[in-house]
Structure formats: C-alpha cells, structure tokens
Amino acid sequence: MLDPKGKSRVPKKNQETTMKFFTKLLRDEAGATAIEYGLIAALIAVAAIGAMSTLGDNLSATFTDVSDNLSSAT
C-alpha cells in the first residue's frame, strides 16, 4: 500500500517483522514434515476406505447367500 507520495503506508518495523517471519517460515522444516505426515495419513485413509468398501460388498453378498439358503431350506 502506497500513499500519494509513493511511500509505503506500512511502518518499516512492521515490514521487517513480516520479512523475518516469512524468512523463518521458509527455513523451518517442521511445517513441511507436518504436511508430509498429513499426506501419508490421507493416503492410508483412502486405502482403508477402499479396502473396507470391498470387504463390505463381499460380506453383504455372503450374508445374502446365507439368507437365501436358509429360506430355501425351511
């Protein structure tokens, strides 16, 4: 943000603090590690949902077969 004279409206101290914050953020690898763990957790969740969906379909078919066989036996 610039004033009519072309000077920044943000005080110099705030600019330095902001630059230090972003410099520290770029050097910090903890954020990258957290993101990596988040991606791994998401991948595991997707795999688990896929496996449970397949297992659920197979289990449903098995119970349907058992139910049909019991109905025809009586």
Q: How many residues does the chain have?
A: 74
Q: What is the pLDDT of residues 8-65, one digit of tens each?
A: 555 566 777 878 887 877 777 777 788 889 999 999 999 999 999 999 989 999 999 9
pLDDT surpasses 70 at 5: no
pLDDT surpasses 70 at 4: no
Helix (H) or strand (E) holding 45: helix 30-73
Q: What is the mean pLDDT of the chain?
A: 82
